[in-house]
Amino acid sequence: MKLKHSLYLLLFLLGGCIYIGHPDDVYNTIPDIHTEAPRSERNPLPRKPGQSGTYLIRTPDDRCLDLSGANNKDIIAHTCHGKSNQQFTFHNDSIRVQGLCLDVAGNQTQDGAPVIAYQCHGKSNQKWYREGKTIRSALNGKCLDAGKHKNQIRLYHCDGSSNQRFYISAY
């Protein structure tokens, strides 16, 4: 036994790695690096009791999320004008505009998935939460992004870029 401890000490002094325990335990010690925040750390979407609950969602370059009249109700970033197609309401974990819900089109999970306005049905591709200044999909934890596809709002792996920061202001 003394020899075993001496070998461990020698290995340690020479800069080697030591693992004491069952080999299967190694895989259980790897931290989970999933990008989705635990439910307890998620910020609810803003709602102000007693107020209209209507908001503009602004990008860092001062454009607003906007329901485009063309192309299957795309959500785009556009010059802010405050008309009804830029007035978003927050209802529980959904974001609504003109009676439609923000929706990850077709439950797509890959980077670049389009975000559209679609009839509300309450499934996970229409559920959202805030984490810091990001707006994330409950479908996969990815972030709304206002810069990788010209003016179209898409879903991407959260990377901390300014394209993924949004500022909520009361209308």
pLDDT digits (tens), the chain, 171 positions: 555 555 454 444 444 444 344 333 333 322 232 344 444 445 555 543 333 478 999 999 999 999 997 555 899 999 999 999 999 998 889 999 999 999 999 999 999 999 999 999 999 999 999 999 999 999 999 999 998 888 999 999 999 999 999 999 987
Concatenated DSSP letters for 86-138? Answer: G-EEEETTEEEETTEEEEEGGG--STTEEEEEE-----GGG-EEEETTEEEET
**Do 133 and 57 contact (CB within 8 A), yes or no?**
no
What amino acid is encoded at 44 in this protein? P
The domain limits of the chain are: 54-170
On the 0-12 / 13-18 / 19+ scale of CB atoms within 10 A, 99 is exposed
Can you tell me whether residue 170 is helix, strand or coil? Answer: strand
Query: pTM for the complete prediction?
Result: 0.69
Fold that domain 54-170 belongs to in CATH: Trefoil (Acidic Fibroblast Growth Factor, subunit A) (2.80.10)
Instruction: Report CA-CA distances (Å) from 108 to 1, 115, 149, 156.
Output: 57, 10, 16, 11
